[in-house]
Structure 1
């Protein structure tokens, strides 16, 4: 997935009200307010003084022209825009770049299912069971080398787990793909201390046959793409 170009370098001053951040633009020294497309806690990624990279919209109707895209850590870039994972995964699915789903040629986004929900992707192929695929954005890393999800309580995420389990019971295939928007992790686990309810829903869904898959990303200032599979350390936090 191509990022908007060119990105603008800045220093993070503060993040507040979840969706707002004050940043100082490197080129001009001007302090402006940028949109943060991320409802999570952004633990370790919202510290004042961090270098960030912004996109700028030319849409005159937007209240905030700048959006926070990347945070720069000593260990590399981290993508924080939660609007991007579905686009990243869709491109990979259509290119058959994710082996677990490479047999499917039809990729339909935002299909209604369950109890008033939408699945991120419905994958279909003649002769194969329909596959209901949920995508989760991951960027929490509290222990070096280990990505974790979630970074905040997610009742919606737990609900999705239950609905995916029902799809398996109905004879379909169902999976959750955790997309790690960073390159400094080797494994993935649940943050059960942050949301024990989600951890319980994960365990139930996995036992019911829901597939749990994790991939990280190759992240640059021009493009973000799916990179490699990471092992899931279930039950650890």
Structure 2
């Protein structure tokens, strides 16, 4: 996934009001940018370190700039825009990079499903194959060399696990896909110390047939893309 137009550079001052961040540009100008991440962003914000942001030409946007990448004190690159995870997954599936999801002929996004008024991130279908429901989560929390999800208690994430379990019980295939948007993460675990209910439900989902995959993304100010699998420990 190429960034077009190219990302612009600045340094982080602070994130606040959840969806806003102030940065200082290379020429000293201070601006406010949109922060498209609903999580806590724990261990993802490093004041005075480099950030890269995109620019929208939509005149209706109050904040035309979008926070995309953060550099950590350890020089890791972190994909801040959690919404990119779905696009990265779709691109990787179409290119055959995620081998476990090869062999389908149709890909749909945001399809209504389940009993809790949900929309599945990706639905794959193919001749003589069960439907494959894929829920995508962006993993960016790094602690002591391990990547964790979630970074805050997630009722929505718990709901998605229940929906995936239901799809398996109906005879379909259900997949939870962690898209790792952090160059320092190679192992993914459920964050039991943050959301024990989510961790327990994930273990239950696996026992009932929900598949769990994790794939690493390459991250740079020029382009991002899924490159290969990560180990999942539950």
Q: Normalised by the shorter chain, which TM-score bucket?
A: over 0.9
Is the CA contact (8 Å cut-off) linking 1:37 and 1:68 kept in structure 2?
yes
C-alpha distance in structure 2 between counterparts of 1:199 and 1:162, whole Å = 12
Question: What is the DSSP-based 3-state SS (H/G/I as helix, E as strand, rest coil) of the residue aligned with 2:186?
Answer: strand
Partner of 1:41, secondary structure, is: coil
Aligned residues: 232
Aligned CA-pair RMSD: 1.1
Q: Does 1:37 align with 2:36?
A: yes
1:127-166 equivalence runs, <5 A? 127-144=128-145, 146-166=146-166
TM-score, reference length from structure 1: 0.95
1:4 Cα deviation from its structure 2 partner: 3.3
Which residue of 1 is the match for residue 124 of structure 2? 123
Asked whether the 8 Å contact 1:75–1:184 carries over to 2, the reply is no
225-234 or 70-79, which moves further after superposition? 70-79
Distance 2:185 2:7 in 1: 25
Contact 1:53–1:69 (8 Å) recurs in 2:
yes
Q: Secondary structure at the match of 2:233?
A: coil
Task: Give how far 1:16 is off.
Answer: 0.4
Aligned to 2:46: 47
Distance in 2 between the 1:29 and 1:141 partners?
A: 31
Q: How many Å separate the matches in 2 of 1:106 and 1:96?
A: 13
Asked whether the 8 Å contact 2:46–2:71 carries over to 1, the reply is: no
Question: Deviation above 4 Å: which 4+ runs of structure 1?
Answer: none
Equivalent pair of 1:55/1:68 in contact (CA under 8 Å): yes
* Secondary structure in 1 matching 2:215: strand
2:6 alignment counterpart: 6
Is the 2:51–2:69 contact (alpha carbons within 8 Å) kept by the matching residues of 1?
A: yes
- Under a length normalisation based on structure 2, what TM-score does the superposition of the two structures give? 0.96
Q: Confirm or deny: 8 A CA contact 2:97 2:228 kept in the other structure.
A: no
Residue 230 of structure 2 is matched in structure 1 by 230
